[in-house]
Amino acid sequence: EATSEYEQMREALTRRVESFDKNPPPDMWLLDGGKANLMLAKSILESVGVDMDVVAIAKEKIDGKAHRAKGKADDLIYIESGSVKLPPSDKRLQFLQNLRDEAHRFAINYHRKQKLKKDKQIDLMKLKGIKEGKIKRLLDFFGSFEVIRTASLHDLSKAFGEKDAKVVFEYFRS
Q: Is the pTM of this model over 0.85?
A: no
Mean pLDDT, to the nearest integer, of 48-63?
Answer: 86
The pLDDT of residue 115: 87
The pLDDT of residue 56: 94
CB 96 within 8 A of CB 77: yes
Residue 22 predicted with pLDDT over 90: yes
Residue 57: strand pairing partners = 32, 77
For residue 134, which of 166, 169, 164, 171 has the smallest C-alpha distance?
A: 164
The pLDDT of residue 39: 96
CB 54 within 8 A of CB 80: yes
Residue 72 predicted with pLDDT over 60: no
Residue 58: strand pairing partners = 76
Straight-line distance from the first to the last Cα atom of the chain, in angstroms, rounded to the nearest whole number = 31
Counting Cβ atoms within 10 Å, is residue 73 exposed (0-12), middle (13-18) or buried (19+)?
middle
Mean pLDDT, to the nearest integer, of 3-15?
Answer: 88
